[in-house]
Structure formats: structure tokens, C-alpha cells
Structure 1
Amino acid sequence: MVSGAGETTTEPVRPVWALTPLERVGPLHFGMSADEVRAALPEAFELKCFSADPFYPDIYGLQLGFRSAVPAVHAYFDRVDRLFCVAADAAHGPRVTLEGLELTGRVPAVLEDTVFDLYSSPVRRVSYGPRGNPGIDDIGMVLRVQDTAGGVLTRPVLVGREWADRCTDDWEGSVPECEWLGRQWRVFEGSDVWPRPGYATNWPPGWTPPF
């Protein structure tokens, strides 16, 4: 893993990571250990290790970047240290592609229309979670959005086969709580952010969102 020494201000070329649904995204295979993820990304900076879900304290995440202090990838591990979820930062993350369709850093409405055209079928059914975030459970994909300097852009969140059931459900699926926070794809209960202003969460004392 690259150290913080030698930081430059030049934005590196963002790698292209092909998604093989339920199996891998770029060099990361679902089921890898944290050490295997580090070995698979020798060029990355490890920026943070954090508690990813207030209700499941054994779930943790690694925040990785291709530049010091600039998050690009969030990798999540279950209680037995298996990689089960990967999220690509909308502004600085790898350009994740699915069958040639780029998922990272897209205008949400444009990508939404394309995903519906290509994948809305009895085999690959696009669905929306309770807070209005779209995805396809059958391929372990959730499409989130993120505020960036260039506007609101897409942030793909991918899970492996064992964790794909109901992955678009932000109440019952496997995607960690921290990945559902912030800007939402659609307005939910009058707000386009979660938690909405004034909402009292039931997070256990001591847990705060890691980013």
C-alpha cells in the first residue's frame, strides 16, 4: 500500500474496472480478505478503516484513494473478513463498467434511462428501495448519487452473490448503513438527503457516519 509521501496535485488517470456481476469489480473479487484487497491495489493509499454500520459492529470498511487524502473506493468486509461490498466514488473513483455501460460519475437521469432500456426485463428487473435508490438485485448493483464539484453524479455500489438478495432495500439489504446516507436519488418524505433535517436516528450511542 502506498504511503502518504510524495503527494502531487495532479489527478491520476482513473482506472477502468469491469464489473462481473456477483463475482468481481476490476481487481477486487468478492470474498477477498482485507489483506488481499490491499495486495490487489498496491498503488492505492489506505486512508481510513472505519465502522460501517451502527447496527452490525463487525461490519467495517476501508477507504482507499489513488491520491493521498482523496477517497476513491470504499471496500466493506463482513464479520469473517470477506469483501462483500464495493463503492466507487463519483468524482475520483474507478470508472466501473457493466457490459460497456459506464456507471461511475454519470448524470443520474441519463444513466437511469439507459439502465431501464438495457436491463429492465423479467431476468434483470430494475427496482427502487424504500428511499428511492434504484438497482438490480439479480446482479448485486445499487445506483447511488453523490454531491461533487461537477454536480450530483452517480456512485455505483456493488455486492457479491452471497449478499445480493434484496440489496436495493436500504432497510433489509446487505449494503452498510453508511452507504445510504447523504444525497438520495429521489426525494423521500419531502427531502433529497438522508437523514432528512430534524430526523432523530436510532443509531446506538457512539456511532457516527464515517464520511
Structure 2
Amino acid sequence: MAAAELREAVDGPTRPAWALVPLESVGPLRFGMRINDVAAALPGMIELRRFQADPHFPRVLGAQFGIGPEAPAVHTYFDGADRLFCVAVDAARGPQVTLDGLELTACVPAELEQLLLDAFRSAALGVSYGPRGNPGVNGLGLVVRVQEIAGGVVTRPVLVGRDRADRCTDDWEGPIPECEWVGRQWTYPGHPELWPPPGYKPNWYDWHPPF
């Protein structure tokens, strides 16, 4: 599907708009909120499930919110103190996250990547890439993942708060839970399209990715 057709297919009239305040909040969600406060801040959504988000840090809790039982829209992640530190927005049903007018949700990956490269060229806010090829801006607490939807592959923004922003693009040792790195990857020569790649057995013991 061509880039223009892909954007038209995913830009629905009912997609809510959330403004990103880097390192502080995304839409109604402020980093540091407790899970009950997050649920109260999403009145149009229901909590779908909770899950262990990382195989190496069992106290990291994930909570999925959506507009219906099979319609996830937002994934939220909480530390051992029940404080929100990471938000990921579903490309198909999640809000349109914007940063100073720049749309981050459900965009054509190559187009958004170029816009980020053009917008953030300084040393302090430059685009960096994790070992698996996913781009982001550490100074904004922003990582851009991709998600496969009907018709193609589009962007899925993942945001963290101030105390987790350092090296957030590092998809091996950074602060974002492992489950957010599983699945479709940003496409680059030399990088597999899926993580884990076929035939690779990660050291996850008895943990299974929740989605």
C-alpha cells in the first residue's frame, strides 16, 4: 500500500488527540501516576488485563486499556512502587500522539523517521538507534516502534518519563520493558524483521511475551 493510502486508511475520524509533554505526560497520563489514577484518567476505555511486562524484572507491571475486549488502545507500565513510567500507544486504535504538531501514531515509518531527523539535529536532542534498529530521541523519552496492521506497517510511539529517559532507545539494556521490543522491528539492512528472529531462543526461562 502506498504511503498516502496507508495514512488515509489509519486516520479515522474518532481517533482522539493526545499532546506529548516530553518527560512529563502524554495526553491525560502523567508519569508517576498510580494505576487506579490511570484508569480514572481514561474514562472512555476499560482495563483489559494486567501482565508481567519483563522477564528479568517481575515487579514491572503492564496494564492494557482499550475500547473493547479485543481492541487494545494503550499499554501502560508501572514500577515496583506502582508508579507509571512508560506508555505505548497502539497504532491501530490508540490516540494520535502529537509533539508540537508532529504526529507520532500510525505514521509511515520512513516519513516519520525523516521528520525526526530534520527536527532534532542537535547533540542534545539527536535521533539515536537501539541495537535492534528502533529510532528515538532519548532527550524526549521517545522511542518509535512499528506495528503491523491491515494494509501495512505503521508507527507505534513509546514514551517514558524523566527518570527513565536516559538511554531509553537502548533496546538491550534500557528501561523500556522487554515486551515492547518483541514482535515487528524497524526494517534495516542487517536487522531481522522480527524479534526474536526465527530459530533464536532468548534466555526468558518461563516468561512468555503477553502480545
Same fold (TM over 0.5): yes
Task: Please name the residue that 1:4 is paired with.
Answer: none
Q: Which residue number corresponds to residue 112 of structure 1?
A: 113
Q: What is residue 197 of structure 1 aligned with on the other side?
A: 198
* Equivalent residue letter for 1:158: L
- 1:83 corresponds to which residue? 84
Aligned pairs for 1:149-188 (under 5 A) are 149-187=150-188
> Once superposed, which parts of structure 1, at least 4 consecutive aligned residues long, lie more than 6 Å away?
none
**1:73-96 per-position Cα deviation (integer Å, ceiling 9, x unaligned):** 000000100000000001111000
- State the shift of 1:186 in Å: 2.5
**Residues of 2 paired with 1:154 and 1:190: CA distance?**
17
Question: Corresponding residue for 2:75?
Answer: 74
CA deviations 1:86-143 (Å, max 9, x no partner) are: 0000111100001100000000001011111111212311000000000010110000
**Contact 1:12–1:66, Cα closer than 8 Å, also in 2:** no
Please name the residue that 1:41 is paired with.
Answer: 42
Deviations 1:27-84, CA, capped at 9 Å, x for gaps: 0000000001011112211111111000000001111112332010000000100000
CA distance in 1, matches of 2:13, 2:135: 30
2:6 is aligned to none
Determine the C-alpha separation between the residues in 1 that align with 2:67 and 2:20. Answer: 19
Distance 2:135 2:188 in 1: 13
- 1:189 offset after TM fit, Å? 4.8
- 2:135–2:143 CA contact under 8 A, matched in 1: yes
Structure 1 residues 200 and 188, CA gap change in structure 2 (3 angstroms): farther
Question: Identity over aligned residues, as a percent?
Answer: 61
* Alignment partners' CA distance in 2, 1:12 and 1:62: 26
Q: TM-score, normalised by structure 2?
A: 0.92
Moved more, 62-71 or 46-55: 62-71
Question: Counterparts of 1:79 and 1:53 in 2: how far apart (Å)?
Answer: 12
Give the match's secondary structure for 1:117: helix
Aligned to 2:100: 99
Rounded Cα–Cα distance in structure 2 between residues aligned with 1:192 and 1:25: 28
Which shifted more, 113-122 or 188-197?
188-197
Other-structure match for 1:141: 142
1:210 matched residue in structure 2: 210
Task: Quote the RMSD (CA, aligned, Å).
Answer: 1.3
Aligned length: 200
Q: Which secondary structure does the structure 2 equivalent of 1:18 belong to?
A: strand
Where structure 1 has 5 or more consecutive residues not aligned to the other structure, the ranges are: 1-10
Please give the alpha-carbon distance, in whole angstroms, between the structure 2 residues aligned to 1:127 and 1:93.
25
> Are 2:42 and 1:55 aligned?
no
Task: Look up the SS of the partner of 1:171 in the other structure.
Answer: coil
Normalised by the size of structure 1, how large is the TM-score?
0.92
